């Protein structure tokens, strides 16, 4: 069964995935003589850098999500299909989905990345990842449910386990989560749950390497660690998590941490669909591409964003899996597709590093720009401005700004709702 895409005399480009890469590519191809088909399982674009604020009750999911059809209302050469890709047949140039099949002339895989549990199945079944809005909501629900359960327990050990949180992974996501939860423990939770002693609640941030924010400079890493420790976060570096059982997080040292809440922010892997796994892949389940983001050995298949791995001289392990790489690759590919239509030579992708940043709670952040490094309150303001301007849609920006302003003035997050699926409120 076809996806009911109208016939066209123009070449058809099928884009799988509406993350940063897919969204940018389709927008950049507006007005071209290509017929575009965008496939995604969701009907909205998700702003991943702020997932942690949904998880910690700072923002509503709708504030960081934007309907695809709203984004592309003025784009006439685009057809959006809400479905899940089952398989890709490279030889026949077909994409098979749960709703049917579509033939392509050019295929662009922009499926992003998923959580990597490194083969630890017990952890995969128990830990809380945060790669989608749904997972961020689930994390919020789980944390709040644990606090509610602690109210009805008379076992001190069980109460401590229900209150404790272990975050695995000391990258920006783990650091930002740890800071947000630590501030909730200080300013919000004692007011919501006066019967519980949150001075007994422990927050652990476990990182396998020797320091947190290892992709940033040593000074930024040390400053972030200092900020977290002042917030009361227990930093454990140079230690690997090896398992999870009976509310115990096992460490490779033989020690364990008591916690019902285990948050996994330790690694990602390429999100491949059926058929695409026959394409050449490298480390992290990422598709091998050349300097034009063309999949190795293919003429009409491209990969951009987190799913793509270009082993260049400057980046022997591939480009960092961050939004700026995805956006820049998409912009370069869109320009190259325009050149192809004009029979002009393509230009290779060259990544321009715009810098890195992470926030560690109220008034605290670390920022590294190509020409400047700074920390503290001004860095926090820069972090907020950059993220606010990166959000799709004026309405979303206004909603986020109001929430941030309210949280700043009241030391409170107002969205502590346990959202249950299904009918009724019970």
Burial 32-51 (b: 16+ CB within 10 A, else e): bebbbbbbbeeebbbbbbbb
More confident residue, 424 or 118: 118
* Pairing state between β 65-67 and 365-369: unpaired
Please tell me whether residues 253 and 157 are part of one structural domain: yes
For residue 312, is pLDDT > 50? yes
For residue 424, is pLDDT > 60? no
Region of 266 on the Ramachandran plot (φ > 0 left; ψ -120 to 50 alpha; else beta): alpha
Q: Any idea which residue has 């702003």 for tokens?
A: 47
Residue 377: inside a domain: no
> Of 249-263, 335-349, 391-405, which gets the smallest average pLDDT?
391-405
Average pLDDT of 153-174? Answer: 95
**pLDDT at position 317:** 87
What span, in angstroms and rounded, lies between the C-alpha atoms of 385 and 291? Answer: 32
For residue 42, is pLDDT > 60? yes
Residue 80: inside a domain: yes
Model confidence at 426, in pLDDT bands (50, 70, 90)?
Answer: very low
Please tell me whether residues 32 and 102 are part of one structural domain: yes
Average pLDDT of 44-51? Answer: 93
Please tell me whether residues 258 and 324 are part of one structural domain: no
**pLDDT at position 415:** 59
Q: In terms of residue numbers, what domain contains 200?
A: 121-266
Check which CATH number belongs to the domain holding 96 and give it.
3.50.50.60
Average pLDDT of 189-200? Answer: 92
Q: What is the percent of the chain with per-residue pLDDT over 70, rounded to a whole number?
A: 96
What span, in angstroms and rounded, lies between the C-alpha atoms of 205 and 191? Answer: 25
For residue 177, is pLDDT > 50? yes
Average pLDDT of 59-75? Answer: 90
Residue 374: inside a domain: no
What span, in angstroms and rounded, lies between the C-alpha atoms of 424 and 18? Answer: 32
What span, in angstroms and rounded, lies between the C-alpha atoms of 413 and 55? Answer: 11
Please tell me whether residues 245 and 312 are part of one structural domain: no
Please tell me whether residues 96 and 180 are part of one structural domain: no
Residue 58: inside a domain: yes
Q: Which of 234, 266, 298 is the last residue of a domain?
A: 266
For residue 416, is pLDDT > 70? no
**pLDDT at position 154:** 92
Q: Is 133 exposed, middle or buried (0-12, 13-18, 19+ CB in 10 A)?
A: buried
For residue 107, is pLDDT > 60? yes
For residue 403, is pLDDT > 90? no
For residue 299, is pLDDT > 70? yes
> Of 39-43, 268-272, 408-412, which gets the smallest average pLDDT?
408-412
Average pLDDT of 339-359? Answer: 94
Please tell me whether residues 135 and 242 are part of one structural domain: yes
Please tell me whether residues 149 and 70 are part of one structural domain: no
**pLDDT at position 75:** 93
**pLDDT at position 174:** 95
Q: Which of 298, 319, 341 is the last residue of a domain?
A: 341
More confident residue, 63 or 106: 106
State the angle between helix axes of 218-230 and 172-183 in degrees (0 to 180), rounded to the nearest 10.
20
For the record, the structure tokens of 94 come out as 């077909």
Please tell me whether residues 255 and 282 are part of one structural domain: no
- Count, in order, helices (H) and strands (E) of the chain: 12, 24
Compute CA distances 180 → 170, 188, 353, 399, 408, whole Å.
14, 11, 27, 19, 13
Contact assessment for residue 137 and residue 61, using Cβ atoms and an 8 Å cutoff:
yes
Average pLDDT of 166-177? Answer: 95
Q: Is 93 exposed, middle or buried (0-12, 13-18, 19+ CB in 10 A)?
A: middle
The per-residue pLDDT of the chain, averaged, comes to 91
How many domains are contained in the chain? 2
Please tell me whether residues 280 and 261 are part of one structural domain: no
For the record, the structure tokens of 294 come out as 């063309």
**pLDDT at position 61:** 86
**pLDDT at position 425:** 46
Residue 43: inside a domain: yes
Sign of CA dihedral 48, 53, 54, 55: positive
More confident residue, 3 or 158: 158
**pLDDT at position 248:** 94
For residue 168, is pLDDT > 50? yes
**pLDDT at position 234:** 97
Contact assessment for residue 287 and residue 279, using Cβ atoms and an 8 Å cutoff:
yes
> Of 114-118, 217-221, 229-233, which gets the smallest average pLDDT?
114-118
Contact assessment for residue 60 and residue 137, using Cβ atoms and an 8 Å cutoff:
no
For residue 282, is pLDDT > 80? yes
Contact assessment for residue 380 and residue 359, using Cβ atoms and an 8 Å cutoff:
yes
3-class secondary structure, 50: helix
For residue 408, is pLDDT > 90? no
Check which CATH number belongs to the domain holding 190 and give it.
3.50.50.100
For residue 95, is pLDDT > 60? yes
Please tell me whether residues 253 and 168 are part of one structural domain: yes
Please tell me whether residues 133 and 262 are part of one structural domain: yes
Helical spans, DSSP H, in 56-94 = 68-71
Strands (E), 350-420: 356-359, 365-369, 372-375
For residue 181, is pLDDT > 50? yes
């Amino acid at each position: 069964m076809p996806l009911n895409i109208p016939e066209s005399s123009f070449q058809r480009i099928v884009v799988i995935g509406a993350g940063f890469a897919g969204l940018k590519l389709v927008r950049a191809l507006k007005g071209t003589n290509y017929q575009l088909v965008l496939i995604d399982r969701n009907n909205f674009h998700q702003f991943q850098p702020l997932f942690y604020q949904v998880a910690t009750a700072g923002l509503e999911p709708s504030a960081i999500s934007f309907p695809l059809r709203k984004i592309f209302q003025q784009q006439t050469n685009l057809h959006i299909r809400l479905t899940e890709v089952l398989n890709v047949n490279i030889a026949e140039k077909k994409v098979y989905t749960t709703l049917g099949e579509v033939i392509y002339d050019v295929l662009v895989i922009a499926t992003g990345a998923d959580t990597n549990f490194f083969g630890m199945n017990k952890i995969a079944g128990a830990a809380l990842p945060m790669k989608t809005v749904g997972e961020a909501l689930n994390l919020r629900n789980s944390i709040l449910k644990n606090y509610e359960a602690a109210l009805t327990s008379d076992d001190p050990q069980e109460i401590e386990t229900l209150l404790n949180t272990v975050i695995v992974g000391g990258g920006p996501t783990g650091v930002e989560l740890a800071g947000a939860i630590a501030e909730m423990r200080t300013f919000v939770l004692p007011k919501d749950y006066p019967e519980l002693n949150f001075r007994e609640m422990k927050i652990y941030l476990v990182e396998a390497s020797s320091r947190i924010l290892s992709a940033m400079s040593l000074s930024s890493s040390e400053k972030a660690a200092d900020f977290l420790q002042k917030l009361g976060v227990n930093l454990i570096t140079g230690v690997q998590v090896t398992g999870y059982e009976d509310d115990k997080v096992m460490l490779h040292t033989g020690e364990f941490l008591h916690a019902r809440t285990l948050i996994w922010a330790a690694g990602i892997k390429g999100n491949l669909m059926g058929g695409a796994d026959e394409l050449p892949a490298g480390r992290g389940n990422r598709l091998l591409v050349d300097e034009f983001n063309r999949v190795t050995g293919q003429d009409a298949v491209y990969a951009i964003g987190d799913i793509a791995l270009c082993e260049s001289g400057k980046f022997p392990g591939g480009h960092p899996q961050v939004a700026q790489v995805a956006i820049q690759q998409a912009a370069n590919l869109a320009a190259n597709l325009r050149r192809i239509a004009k029979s002009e030579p393509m230009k290779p992708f060259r990544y321009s590093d715009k810098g890195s940043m992470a926030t560690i709670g109220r008034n605290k952040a670390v920022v590294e720009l190509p020409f400047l490094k700074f920390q503290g309150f001004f860095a926090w303001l820069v972090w907020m401005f950059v993220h606010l301007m990166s959000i799709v849609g004026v309405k979303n920006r206004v909603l986020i700004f109001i929430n941030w302003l309210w949280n700043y003035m009241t030391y409170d997050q107002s969205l502590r709702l346990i959202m249950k699926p299904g009918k009724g409120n019970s």
